[in-house]
Amino acid sequence: MVTEEDLRERQLSSTDVKHENFRGAKQRLYRDSTYAYPGGESGEQACSRAIAVIERILDTHAGHKVVIGTHGDVMTLILQHYDSSYGYDFWENTTMPDIYKLEFDGSTSWSRSPDCGSNRVVYETGISQDEELEGDQ
């Protein structure tokens, strides 16, 4: 296992910035990918660092299966990089934890596995959505 610091969650803002409406604050970040709250990261900044890691992993492990774990906001930004239809609404509907199976064809295109319904655990892992993951008690 390798820890990639650049797959960490996006910093919304510094701790001294108070967000009375967390979802509204998130929506603003998705509406304007260049916007950042004081002490926080814009979508462009967080996406840039995460995509650099993803592309390096894809290059290093071309032709192999790889498991990548990250946070919901960064995952959404990664998906959005490859498909602009992903954004706030997708992020808001994630159930945390979610698992998505993506297949890359060696270029910049990818597909999400059809056996992976939206916001569902991959069933081929043998874990149904209703079962708790080991250690999540």
- 73-117 pLDDT, tens digit per residue, is 999 999 999 889 999 999 999 988 888 888 877 655 555 544 444
For residue 104, give the 3-state DSSP assignment: strand
For residue 110, give the 3-state DSSP assignment: strand
Q: Is the pTM of this model over 0.85?
A: no
Task: Tell me which residue of 130, 98, 103 sits closest to 117, measured CA to CA.
Answer: 98
Q: Is the pLDDT of residue 43 over 90?
A: yes
Residues 95 and 60: their CA atoms lie apart, in Å, by 30
- The predicted structure's pLDDT at residue 130: 36
Can you read off the two tokens belonging to residue 26?
């998130």
